[in-house]
Chains A and B, each alone.
Chain A
Amino acid sequence: MPPFVNGYIRFVDAVNYRVGRAVMYGIFVMVAILLWSSISKAFFLPSLWTLEAAQFAMVAYYILGGPYSIQLDANVRMDLFYGSWSVRKKAWFDVFTIFFLIFFLGVLLYGAYDSTSYAIQYGERSPSAWRPYMWPIKVVMCIGFSLMLLQAVSELLKDIARIRGEDI
């Protein structure tokens, strides 16, 4: 593969690896928020922001963590046939079907962009009592979907390399 392709793969994988490694500790953020929620409810006035904050944390967790989960090969496939194919045959199929994934991510990103620009333009806030602005979480979602797209392209390139019998 041309060097810039290898460069792309290495770069994208490295970025998504780091992002994923960072957000995986988000589980403790969620635990902390929810524990605080139970404590504040038991001993003081229940806090206004905990449930929503935990929801935001969850969204950041799974969307930003998505690319790393692809690297970890955690996303299941229906492996009735796939499971028994050779590495090359798998790569051949993936080279085509990954475009479906890319398409889905593209539509997601388009919708996210649209909704984010709306949120920024109108200063959209959540209708809760806490009333947080919605754009920050939507921006995070846009970033996550973009990273996911980059990762999918990286997977595509790796499959092409596999078909050409190169190692990556």
Chain B
Amino acid sequence: MSYDLIAFFMFASMMLMLMTGQRVFGAIGAVAAASALALWGTGGSDIPFSSAMKLMNWYPLLTLPMFIFMGYVLSESKIADDLYRMFHVWMGPIHGGLAIGTIGLMVLVSAMNGLSVAGMAIGATIALPELLRRGYDKRMVTGVVQAGSSLGILVPPSVVLVLYAMIARQPVGQLWLAGVVPGLIMAMMFIIYIAVRCRLQPELGPVLPKEERQVSLGEKLRLLRAGVLPVVIFASMMVPFVKGWTSLVESSAIGAMAAFVAAILKRRMNRAVFEASVRQTLAISCMFMWIILAALGFGAVFDGLGAVKAIDNLFTEQLGLNPWMILIMMQLSFLLMGTFLDDTAMLVIVAPLYVPLVAALGFDLIWYGVLYTITTQIAYMTPPFGYNLFLMRAMAPPEISLRDIYSSILPFVCVMLVALSLIMAFPQIALWLPEYVYNR
């Protein structure tokens, strides 16, 4: 079989298998195993297992359960409640203020965990019901929570950037720093969008009623203290890491411990919270790892059968495009695949094909990591397949229909696309901070 045919055949059968609704890792793993047995020749049957050994050697993966645990401790123990109240009181008096406050909340939550699930859970359980009760438009606020929580993977720590770092062989510290400014800019853009929209259509985000706004200045200032906790947790993890005192995986364990201790000190760690955090951490870690296992196998088989050459050839020779066109094509293909494929699988399978090409075209791989992460965020939110969509569907109050959820994300996806183009046009937005800190 020719390389082109193998590449086509493997991708097509994977897509087909995914559509049957079988577990993603099973679908991908089965295609990998079957192709290996059928086409590899002697010893092909060992490839799936040797991927398990490869996964074991990928030591940065240890950060995954740590950051997942952090997130669950944070959301289950409701230690973000105080943060929420802080934003509520401070932002309440303006149009759309609570929605803007929710974005602020999401930024701080993002600094304390590596995924968007925690932000999602906090947003959907604490913020959403309150916003609805105060007459905020349901489409507006569902979108706010989804968009805001997606910052979780752009603002460090970020699991997606760790995974990308492993594949692109780039330093995690620089990638994380590269996510900071784009993350904040994107948050800013969300806020501007909300403010403008609520100015034009005040009924979407009414001002808090007078009674609720009468909070003394002393009380207001006291509430600001809630902001200390995220800073402490973030610093306990990032400072030793950036200073080089602890390694990446060690820092992630420190972060997990810090969140856990914070929950105990705030007297929020009871049996139920403990149980839920530990169990959920296992569940989500398993989900990730089994997908990575299957995807690594898929990648090795794809590569060993020569299909990678077909892809390279397609991009560089057959299409004869200039570097920017290729880059844009890649982003588009990510968006397209993101409508069907799990983002981790996408990363493990596709990034090894793209990353060398991106490097060969002369683009910066740190910068590309940020582009990839934003693209992933968009993929998370866009139907038909998107984690944040699933989560929202599962967590949203009953008055929010699936249609509401779908239409709520539209404006935010547009904002994200604008942010994406901005960062493409001005790489320094992402690269300035890591260059400054590490004197690259």
Which residues of A pack against B, CB within 8 Å? 20, 23-27, 30-31, 34-35, 37-38, 41-42, 51, 54-56, 58-59, 61-63, 65-66, 68-70, 72, 74-83, 85, 90, 93-94, 96-98, 100-101, 103-105, 107-108, 110-112, 114-115, 137, 141
With a cutoff of 8 Å between Cβ atoms, the chain B residues found around residue A38 in the complex are: 240, 245-247, 250, 253-254
Question: In the bound complex, do residue B37 and residue A80 qualify as a contact, i.e. CB atoms below 8 Å apart?
Answer: no
User: Which A residues touch B47, using CB under 8 A?
Assistant: 111
Contact between A27 and B56, CB atoms less than 8 A apart? no
The CA of A31 and the CA of B281, in the complex, are separated in Å by 13
Whether a CB of chain A sits under 8 angstroms from the CB of B59 is yes
User: How many residues on chain B are close to A (CB under 8 Å)?
Assistant: 66
B46 on interface, CB distance cutoff 8 Å: yes
Choose among A58, A98, A111 the residue that contacts B49 (Cβ–Cβ < 8 A).
Answer: A111
Q: Which 10 A-B pairs have the closest CB atoms?
A: A82-B21, A111-B49, A101-B26, A34-B253, A69-B286, A104-B29, A74-B283, A100-B30, A97-B22, A62-B289
Whether B21 lies near A62 (C-beta < 8 A) is no
| B-side contacts of A75, CB under 8 Å | 23-26, 286-287, 290
Q: B24 near A65 (CB under 8 angstroms)?
A: no
Complex alpha-carbon distance, A81 and B16, angstroms: 12
Interface residue B376 (Cβ < 8 Å from any Cβ of A): no
In the complex, chain A residues whose CB is within 8 Å of the CB of B385: 78-80
How many angstroms from the CA of A72 to the CA of B37 in the assembled complex? 31
> Inside 8 A of B26's CB, which chain A residues have their CB?
75, 97-98, 100-101, 104
* A65 in contact with B286 (CB, 8 Å): yes
B278 at the interface (CB under 8 A from A): yes
Least CB distance, A88 to chain B, in whole angstroms = 14
The 0/1 profile, CB within 8 Å of A marked 1, for residues 5-33 of chain B is 00000000000011111111111011011
Question: Contacts of B29 on A, CB cut-off 8 Å?
Answer: 101, 104-105, 108
Query: Nearest Cβ in chain A — how far from B250, in angstroms?
Result: 4
Q: Determine the distance from Cα of A114 to Cα of B48 in the docked complex, in whole angstroms.
A: 12
Contacts A103-B33, A107-B37 hold; do A59 and B21 have CB atoms under 8 A apart?
A: no
- Interface positions, chain B 37-92, Cβ under 8 Å from A, are 37, 45-50, 52-53, 55-57, 59, 61-62, 65-66, 69
Given contacts A55-B56, A111-B48, contact A65 B285 (CB under 8 A): yes
Q: What are some 18 contacts across the A-B interface (CB < 8 A)?
A: A27-B65, A34-B253, A37-B247, A37-B250, A58-B62, A63-B52, A76-B24, A79-B384, A90-B21, A98-B22, A98-B26, A100-B26, A101-B23, A107-B37, A107-B45, A107-B48, A112-B49, A115-B46
B46–A111 CB distance below 8 A: yes
**In whole angstroms, how far apart are the Cα atoms of A114 and B23 in the complex?**
26
CB contact between B279 and one of A72, A98, A103, A141 (< 8 Å): that residue = A72
Chain B residue contacts of A101, Cβ below 8 A: 22-23, 26, 29-30
Contact A69 B62 (CB under 8 A): no
B21 x A79 contact (CB < 8 A) = yes
Most buried by B among A77, A79, A80, A101: A77
B377 touches A (CB below 8 Å): no
B418 sits at the interface (CB 8 A): no
Residue in chain B with minimal CB distance to A83? B21
Specify which of A55, A65, A77, A93 is in contact with B57 (CB 8 Å cutoff): A55
A30 to chain B, nearest CB (A): 6
| Complex contact B48–A59 (CB within 8 A) | no
